[in-house]
Amino acid sequence: MTKATPQKTYLDVPFDQKDAAKQAGALWDKSQKAWFARGAEVPAALKAYLPKEQREKEREDPRLAFGAFLREKGAELKGEPQMDGQWHRIGLIGEGKAQNASYRAFLDGVPNGQFKNFKGDEIESWQGEASGMSPADQRRLAAQAEKTRDERDKQRAEDHQAAAKRAFGIWTNLKTWATPDNCPYLGRKQVRGFGVKLTDDGLMVVPLRDTTGRIWSLQFVGDEKNFLKNGRKEGLHHTIDPDKELQKDPAKGQDKGDKLTIVIGEGYATGADVHKATKLPTFVAFDGDNLVSTAKAVREKYPQANILIAADDDHHLQLKSPPLPNKGLKCAQRAADAVGGKVLAPSFTPAEKSKGLTDWNDLKQERGEAGLLSALRLSFSTMQRQQKLEQGKGLEREREMAR
């Protein structure tokens, strides 16, 4: 069987720009005496060297340009992307059937889109070209885009309201509370059920509430985690507070300096374990991307509280090629910075990291509940030492400025 010849996309590279093109990834074809890019998709840095006809084709068809952008970011895109303003789940190259990314794109106004790799912590943006448009056309497209945006926001709000009604109905009709004995997920994670219910097929159901207690959506947890379609998530949470600490006066003990302390974590199992170990009211934000908005909602509701962010440690992401940021720690620090809180981060040994441990529940299952409590105390002590060190540096800077 003959081996397929790799496709080449030939480029128009001026002689005085050959070094820049080579650095950007262009290759030299000795037989054709021409520069080329390997494959059909040309990296963004080399698009300026495409033949004029091909550049015009990409400029005229934003789907081609946005598709090339997605593939460049590692998306496993088959065919053209959908540019309807909705988020679409998509896989990453080399990760099989898992859909660990999403994208959305808009054709109204100047074509634009976004790509989100769930293993990273940034949303990457793309914008098409508006060249050749008159100022009048640009103003018209801007007005059209604003109108479409308003209509889209209105539709999203309506979808959220409809999902909230469905969520309330489903939640009300579920009669069984989830426990480690009847819920496979709780049994596997070795955690209690705090205010969570069970479906007939054994899924744990977690309500997503706002700070008034209203249910907006539901999370269904089994081997995978899924949310109610079209449900709201931003700024919503699940609260673990069986002793009703949050229903007491939030300002209690302020004269003694004894403020209310609240913990916020990503997943349910982490929240349940940290609450059991600390007895502190705990909020589950559901994922790292929702930590900041949840922390802000909690801060608004409890302005005097101490807020601790129980972080995940996604150390494995830094070992990928190319390396990705440690999303768990980065999102936790952003949330803490947004509300004047502090981060409680788990510390794993190299052997534990090699086993894939990333959160407080993983640590508990590895070391037991006594080990979890010891690790939390160590993390809290480390946090306090860092805080004193930062305060000392601040005082030193003030003294220097006063001299």
164-184 average pLDDT score:
97
| Angle (nearest 5°) at CA 70 between 67 and 76 | 95
Residue closest to 364 by CA, chosen among 188, 184, 240: 188
Classify residue 324 as exposed, middle or buried by CB count within 10 Å of its CB (0-12, 13-18, 19+).
middle
Distances (CA, A) of 207 to 283, 299, 304: 12, 20, 26
Residue 28 identity (one-letter amino acid): W
For the record, the structure tokens of 8 come out as 């080449």
**pLDDT tier at 254, thresholds 50, 70, 90:** very low
pTM of the entire structure? 0.71
User: Residue 149's pLDDT band (boundaries 50, 70, 90)?
Assistant: confident
Residue boundaries of the structural domains of the chain: 50-133, 176-402
pLDDT value at 253 more than 50: no
Q: What is the mean pLDDT of residues 193-205?
A: 97
- Is the pLDDT at 403 greater than 60? The verdict is no
**Antiparallel, parallel or unpaired: β 112-117 and 101-106:** antiparallel
Query: What pLDDT, in 10s, does the model give residues 339-379?
Result: 999 999 999 999 999 999 999 999 999 999 999 999 999 98
Tens digit of pLDDT for each residue in 75-84? 998 888 888 8
**Each residue's pLDDT tens digit, 66-75:** 999 999 888 9
Location of structure tokens 């308003």 = 150
The pLDDT assigned to 256 comes to: 41
Please report the pLDDT score of residue 2 as a whole number: 47
Q: Across all residues in the chain, what is the average pLDDT?
A: 86
**Contact by Cβ (8 Å): 32, 10:** yes
Q: Residue 149 burial (CB < 10 Å; 0-12/13-18/19+)? A: middle
Q: Band of the pLDDT at 153, cuts 50, 70, 90?
A: confident
Of 139, 79, 77, which Cα lies nearest the Cα of 110? 139
- pLDDT attached to residue 137: 61
- What is the CATH topology of the domain spanning 176-402? Dna Topoisomerase Vi A Subunit; Chain: A, domain 2 (3.40.1360)
For CA atoms 189, 192, 193, 194, the dihedral sign is: negative
Separation between Cα atoms, residue 108 and residue 303, nearest integer Å: 41
Question: 177 pairs with which residues across the strands?
Answer: 197
- Helix locations, 174-219, DSSP H: 184-189
How does pLDDT run across 7-36, given as a tens digit for each residue?
788 888 888 888 988 988 899 988 888 888
Residue predicted with more confidence, 278 or 147: 278
